[in-house]
Structure 1
């Protein structure tokens, strides 16, 4: 059962405002035009002039998280008037219905785009939707447990992978970590951090762990879930709202954590080790990544002006990225904003726009889930339009299972 929002379903999002589209031509109206990047597919779908029925999501960054939802007309346009000027998070989304799938071989496909842009009356905004990617190992769930826990208990966090392909994939030697993202954004400008945030050659990281194995020891079959725990123990013994992770597939190695002898360890391979001694503790503002095996010692490193040496994980080795940002439906989001709010926390080739992360009612059981797009022979196929804002949703944690 979902706790709350589906960002792509207006009725699931608290505070969503549905917009009357009949405001075209007003001098203060903002026009959004949605097109498809794949022009051949657009023509086959009858969208050569614009994507019909696409959802456009708008959220002004300085406002509580109560997004406007618009829908495009037959020309791919949507309009809104009386919009407060400012910096907005904008996302465009469309999923084919079963009756529209003939051009895609009767396969339900999703399309998405997202970015931040300053908007004022009379603005024109263009969104170009990318088609969902197929056949990969993806990050399927991230649980940031402990952030609202009375005792600041962080050790119940887990990260989950899913084989979204139809072939067996081996995780041996892969890297799981977080990239530069919002680091130092409270003290350095976006321009000063740009080279580390938006490098097209790769993701800069100080903390990541490596899966064990020499090549074929840890297979992941199609539709299989892999749970990586910070600590692979039953955390519900500490608090009933926390998950039992004693059956996790892997656990992060740390200097002070309770080691489960039945669960393989993932040693730290970065240039930084969390001093709390439990391994990597990624939070909602981190840019999580999964990367193929690479010789870490051979990678390019560079010292950031704040003193930490970062390692660049090459673009061609990156398998997946998941990216979130704390949003608050009923309080002032300015309390969560870094001093400098950059247009991108990561290069668009990796992820176009971060997901909304919050806990309805401060429910400590909430995590970030990748959406199920369709089902093939009983096996979920998860959505990956390279836009975390659209690919992920909020729901109750479900270690070892695909729930949403």
Structure 2
């Protein structure tokens, strides 16, 4: 599949202006208006993409209520008389492959989706907002992240975090090889309250201020930074994945529904097997114990499941953030690129980092095949986004939060000759649903 990417990020220009108040007196809660003006980030001015019928959805972050509308011929959408509050604004349009070719003269194998997104837009009483949003086409690839089970299961009755996994899927119509596919756990600012970092306007860390960061690169927009980096082994064609098939990558490839023996000889079991899953048939697992001085008892090596290559790790096992504050990427570098030699940097702290402070791999986004932004399930716990609109314009979450047994699962777009094709618009808000209990190999 041809990869399409415009390397311009979403740009928004909120403009505030006062509403007229009759008699100088305001009574009650006054409705407010939001105007969205849409355009495209284009590398060429030789053609014009349609701004009519762009779908725009606004979501009140406090009430979760939504309103949707479509743009007019000029690319303008107006929401009038809405309650004051904080809103997520998402815009999307899909141009069919045939129409895209007619307009641009460029052949693409699949329809092209353009997105724009602005999160946590405050619309105050007595103020209207006019917003410019620029639509960008994201990267599209043959591999997609299908399912992320980060929440884990109940602390006392379930498996805690031991049963976490990620599922990657071949969304193409040809055999792909998982060999040398990298899985990165993207890290960044975990809350808005921490104040010892240099930050960008969106609140995310300003990595350009990291010690020894080169001045001639765009450290924030062209890269992401991982705290774990794993690779599927193989010689190039060791692990074929058929079209419409996936691979499950487990933290610990055991049947978590039944008792099993931990690395220290203790029995590990759950009180309620219905809250957890069987990962004994996972395709790969992350095994850390061989290079830790104090490994977890639950980090048992299932000799029937191949181990991932661990380039970078954090903590005592491959533990995904249960609250949903990490992002995830998959990528392949190819050629003679030696990923383990890529540079690593400290957090951009306002004070000099210590000599033994943790460093994070700098991952060039040009190699990323798919990215999924995860967020906490409640609006007040949200953190600054790590990905721009061309990689993931939105985010996904599980409604019940940490230790709920829930996973996020990519939606089915269509079935073609028996092959399930998953939705991939580079907006996880639209692309993902959830399972009440994580289901390796399942579809939604």
Judge same fold: TM > 0.5, yes or no. Answer: yes
- Asked whether the 8 Å contact 1:175–1:210 carries over to 2, the reply is yes
Aligned mates of 1:220, 1:249 — CA distance in 2: 11
- Classify 1:115/1:49 alpha carbon distance in 2 versus 1 (closer, same or farther; 3 Å): closer
Deviation at 1:382, TM superposition (A): 1.7
Deviation at 1:223, TM superposition (A): 1.2
Q: Secondary structure at the match of 1:308?
A: coil
Deviation at 1:155, TM superposition (A): 0.7
- Asked whether the 8 Å contact 2:183–2:230 carries over to 1, the reply is yes
Deviation at 1:163, TM superposition (A): 0.8
Kindly provide the CA deviation profile for residues 83-123 of structure 1, in whole angstroms up to 9, marking residues without a partner as x: 45555321123568xxx886369976654332225343321
- Classify 1:102/1:176 alpha carbon distance in 2 versus 1 (closer, same or farther; 3 Å): closer
Q: Secondary structure at the match of 1:240?
A: helix
- Classify 1:264/1:236 alpha carbon distance in 2 versus 1 (closer, same or farther; 3 Å): same
Q: Secondary structure at the match of 1:390?
A: helix
Q: Secondary structure at the match of 1:123?
A: strand
How many pairs align?
354
Kindly provide the CA deviation profile for residues 309-355 of structure 1, in whole angstroms up to 9, marking residues without a partner as x: 11112223222111111123xxxx43x24xxx53x323444322322
Aligned mates of 1:221, 1:38 — CA distance in 2: 35
Deviation at 1:74, TM superposition (A): 4.3
Indicate the RMSD between aligned Cα atoms, in angstroms.
Answer: 3.4
Look up the match of 2:254: 233
Aligned mates of 1:198, 1:249 — CA distance in 2: 34
Q: Report the TM-score when normalising by structure 2.
A: 0.69
Look up the match of 2:406: 366
Q: Report the TM-score when normalising by structure 1.
A: 0.76
- Classify 1:244/1:308 alpha carbon distance in 2 versus 1 (closer, same or farther; 3 Å): same
- Classify 1:369/1:392 alpha carbon distance in 2 versus 1 (closer, same or farther; 3 Å): same
Deviation at 1:124, TM superposition (A): 1.8
Is residue 99 of structure 2 the alignment partner of residue 80 of structure 1?
Answer: no
- Asked whether the 8 Å contact 1:33–1:50 carries over to 2, the reply is no
Q: Secondary structure at the match of 1:155?
A: coil
Aligned mates of 1:374, 1:36 — CA distance in 2: 27
**Structure 2 unpaired stretches of 5+:** 1-29, 102-108, 209-217, 259-269, 290-295
Selected match of 1:113 from 113, 116, 136: 116
- Asked whether the 8 Å contact 1:27–1:122 carries over to 2, the reply is no
- Asked whether the 8 Å contact 1:111–1:132 carries over to 2, the reply is yes
Is residue 367 of structure 2 the alignment partner of residue 317 of structure 1?
Answer: yes
Q: Secondary structure at the match of 2:285?
A: strand
- Asked whether the 8 Å contact 2:286–2:318 carries over to 1, the reply is yes
Aligned mates of 2:58, 2:254 — CA distance in 1: 40
Aligned mates of 1:288, 1:392 — CA distance in 2: 14
- Asked whether the 8 Å contact 1:321–1:351 carries over to 2, the reply is yes
Query: Counterparts of 1:162-177 in structure 2 under 5 Å?
Result: 162-177=169-184
Aligned mates of 1:49, 1:313 — CA distance in 2: 33
Is residue 305 of structure 2 the alignment partner of residue 266 of structure 1?
Answer: no
Please say which structure displays the higher CA radius of gyration.
2
- Asked whether the 8 Å contact 1:132–1:383 carries over to 2, the reply is no
Look up the match of 1:29: 33
- Asked whether the 8 Å contact 1:59–1:90 carries over to 2, the reply is no
Is residue 127 of structure 2 the alignment partner of residue 125 of structure 1?
Answer: no
Q: Secondary structure at the match of 2:206?
A: helix
Kindly provide the CA deviation profile for residues 179-220 of structure 1, in whole angstroms up to 9, marking residues without a partner as x: 123346542353482227962332211212121112211112
Aligned mates of 2:390, 2:118 — CA distance in 1: 12
Aligned mates of 1:89, 1:204 — CA distance in 2: 25
**Structure 1 unpaired stretches of 5+:** 1-25
Aligned mates of 2:180, 2:66 — CA distance in 1: 43
